[in-house]
Amino acid sequence: MLDELSTDRTGLSVDEAARRLVVDGPNELPQARPSNPVLTFLRQFHDILIYVLLASAVITFLIGDWIDAIVILAVTVINAIVGLIQNGRTQKALDGIRAMLSLTAKTRRAEEWTNINATDLVAGDIVRVEPGDKVPADARILQANLLRIDESALTGESLPADKDAASVDADSGVGDRHDMLFSGTHVTAGDGTAVVTATGLDTEIGRIHSLVNATRNTATPITRQLNSFSKRISVLILVVAAVMLLVGWLLHGSSLGQLVPATIGFAVAAIPEGLPALVTITLALGVRQMASRRAIVRTLSSVETLGSVTTICTDKTGTLTRNEMTVRTAVTPAARYDVEGTGYAPKGAIVNSDGNDSTDRSDLDALVEAFALCNDAHLTSTGEDWQVVGDPTEGALRALAAKAGFDGASYSRHAVLPFSAEAKFMAITSHKAGGDTRILLKGAPRVVLDRCSHELGAGGVKRPIDRPEWERIVNDLSATGLRVLAAARSDTVTDSEQLSADDCESGLVFLGVAGILDPPRAEAVAAIETMHTAGIRVKMITGDHPGTALAIAMEMRIAQEGSRVLTGDVVHRMTDEELAEAAPDVDVYARTSPEHKLRIVTALQSRGQVVAMTGDGVNDAPALRRADIGVAMGIKGTETTKEAADIVLADDNFATIGRAVEEGRRIRDNLQKSILFLLPTTSAQALVLLLAVVIGFTLPLQATQILWVNLITAVTLSLALATEPAEPGIMQRPPTRFSRGILDRSYFARIVWVTALITTATIGVFFYEESIGSSSAEAQTTAVTMLTLAQLAFLFSCRFLRASSLRLATLRGNRAIYVSGGILLLLQFGFVYAPFMHPWFHSAPLGIREWAYTSAIAVLIFVLTEAGKGAERVHMRRSMRRLTQSKVWR
């Protein structure tokens, strides 16, 4: 490696380093050129829905309703401001990565060690790292002394990685390159020297920076569906308006002075200008609700998208698991013990799994003694919260000792042989007051077994070690995802103050093993079951080894025994097409890199999946940006990850994702209810005017009266459904396919049916009033009242999408229904009886008769709507029955 970089262990000369700096550039990540804020702001208006809003504002202004025009324009400006704020998220994510880089570096220049700015490092520099340092560049290790590096931000592994100078295969993943240091990682123990191999964008963290920069957010389902809906309704309104003009002019000979106001009135009635505000308010209420469930939402549209999620890709450590190592099993030569309790809290029983209730536990005491004393960690508590200071694995052994009742006060440690990556064991000499001095050793099972000739049986009796049996036990424990440590001792001590590797080379007594695991969160297991019931696939993508990953996935009920595990190197060799073919059926991925995660998410999306991706390290940022929903951990997540995410979990708990998905489905349901309410009511208003022009009768409604109905329903009824509680069984149904429109096609018949009912009622009462001699103003006022009451009745029907509303539950559970209904009626009373309203809206006072029969017709519309929903349910059951029969026939 030194020859390849044209350097040696004495380092580069000052002149050569300066020359390479000019050629290679500084060791930093480039800062993106800031975009013009004015252009960025104007770009927010480039959206079909905004065009519809602007068109409706122009139309309302042309007919003289400048107040509504200003309100609609205000909605578009607010939307643009929100978009402008969100546009800065990518830059913040990149800045977060840049902030991870080291500021200074210890390097050897002109055969002397010196501190320089990390930006001045070049390939070929010799650097030195010590505990607490940030690694300043990617570097190949030349010499290491008990060197351990926290690479969690790159690999997702919670434990520090042991580093040494031994070479590894060139195609090894980042987590397996123990001969390399990576820029931005942290030195937790030991020291070493290395030669810089890559700087700036050529480093691993630089490649992640490039991935974040190149990765584009995908359009969310609600965005795609609203765009599609807006395009269709815009075209339909233009076509129908043109037909109105032609029919009225050519067929009825009406003048343009008569037709243009009617056509404008039709357009105003048909355009659902309240839709964007309705969607925004519904999503905003969802954001507030999710915050109370410890899910902080960064983008409004992601609230609804959660309701459409079909696949969740999640990390293991700290999300599915507690990120607290725990001893699950202890095996001695005499017995096997199950250890209860989780985390570092010293609470939980140790139970003999063989069913032997013998009070003699000298075998367990000996094992616990070795693990507790040959240990540099200690536990601290704040109330009920226990934390480890030191290595998490040693913390788990400390908790085991506390559960076993071990008291180390009477013991003293003397000589210590520290753990090293090469030796893979730690040893001490320990003296018990009034007792013996012993050598205690703990480490990797194979290493400990190599040094043992005997094992400690029941009653403290030594016997020859049964190595094949212990190898079987270790393999069985490892196969279940446990990290296995072994312990041994020697009663022969020549010098308690001195200890070397030779003193514990052979002749030790084997005490047993402990199986350690980062335990699954109980609530996460239940959440995964809920996800599966809801038709959502959960996939685990981790930096762990395949065996550990599969064992945890089986315990979490993500995978089954024998399930396929794809490793990072296999993913790397796959083409995009091969990965897209395999990804939907694979639920466990191990030893993955940032590129692998990004490709997995992209592959799933190419198969029509709506993907949520969780992450906490900077290595997760590209995949989080690419996913339909990026979910970052709020506690242990990096700032880079949080900036790249759509949702931040305040408690780092997978179960919170489950609650957020449920909330997302509730919000999607409420959006559907609100839109299902909005479309027939606006369609009915438009159809009244359309029929009047096409058939040639007197307009039952004035344009200003339509605006009045739009105004009072927009500020009252349309918003009432946004606060509806979740319907029963919301997490027992499959996700809504994003390929469907914002409303299912099955609702089309209901929209037509309700539109026809309200239109017929409105026109009918208008002609009825004219036929009995009422004035034009009284007839139109009655028609407006009919339209308003019919919409109020339809609102109650919309409380349940599919289920019948002919039940008492329709009358309770949502106070907003009654508040909005009461406000609507007060405003309508003002429209009818306030004298100053009459010249503005051509209205007139009504009597009890008009209110009574229009109310009765409104109730009839509610009943007939429910009859239509009943027919829909019958049709759906028959369709499902035919589908089932056809599958059986095949």
Question: Cα separation of 636 and 474, whole Å?
Answer: 32
The single-letter code of the amino acid at 736 is T
Q: Active site includes 164?
A: no
Of residues 856, 666, 847, 700, the one with CA closest to residue 768: 700
Q: Residue 382 in 3-state DSSP? A: strand
Do the Cβ atoms of 633 and 615 come closer than 8 Å?
yes
Closest by CA position to 163, among listed 173, 148, 150 = 148
Instruction: Give residue 813's region: left, alpha or beta (phi > 0; psi -120 to 50).
Output: left
Helix (H, G, I), strand (E, B) or coil at 15: helix
Chain centre to alpha carbon of residue 878 = 38
Please tell me the number of Cα atoms within 13 Å of 212 on its side-chain side.
Answer: 34
Sign of CA dihedral 152, 314, 615, 28: positive
Distance CA 853, CA 855 (A): 5
Chain CA centroid to CA 872, Å: 35
CA 319 to chain centre: 11
Distances (CA, A) of 101 to 126, 154, 618, 727: 18, 13, 12, 49
CA dihedral 771, 774, 780, 781 (to 10 degrees): -140
- DSSP H stretches of helix in 161-294: 204-214, 221-246, 256-270, 275-292
User: Is the Cβ–Cβ distance between 7 and 42 less than 8 Å?
Assistant: no
**Could you tell me the two tokens for 179?**
């001969």
Query: How far is the first Cα of the chain from the last one, in angstroms, to the nearest whole number?
Result: 64
3-state secondary structure of 196: strand
Q: Tokens standing for 130? A: 């010590």
Please report the DSSP string for 820-851 in residue order.
Answer: HHHHHHHHHHHHHH-TTHHHHHT-----HHHH
The token duo for 610 is: 């709506």
> Is 417:409 a contact under the CB 8 Å cutoff?
no
Select which of 315, 503, 628, 669 is catalytic: 315
Phi, psi of 255 (to 5 degrees): -80, 160
- Token digits of residue 714: 């927009």
In SS3 terms, 621-665 reads as: HHHHHHCCEEEEECCCCCHHHHHHCCEEECCCCHHHHHHHHHHHH
Q: Give the number of other Cβ atoms within 10 Å of residue 663's Cβ.
A: 23
Helices 275-292 and 221-246: crossing angle in degrees, nearest 10, is 160
The letter for the amino acid at 567 is: T
Token pair of 224, please?
A: 């795609």
**CA–CA gap between residue 688 and residue 748 (Å, rounded):** 19
Query: Phi and psi at residue 487, in whole multiples of 5°?
Result: -135, 150
- 476 three-class SS: helix
How far apart CA 120 and CA 143 sit, in angstroms, is: 23
CB 587 within 8 A of CB 540: yes
Sorted by sequence, the CB contacts under 8 Å of residue 33 that are 6+ apart come out as none
357: number of Cβ within 10 Å? 7
The residues assigned a catalytic role are 315
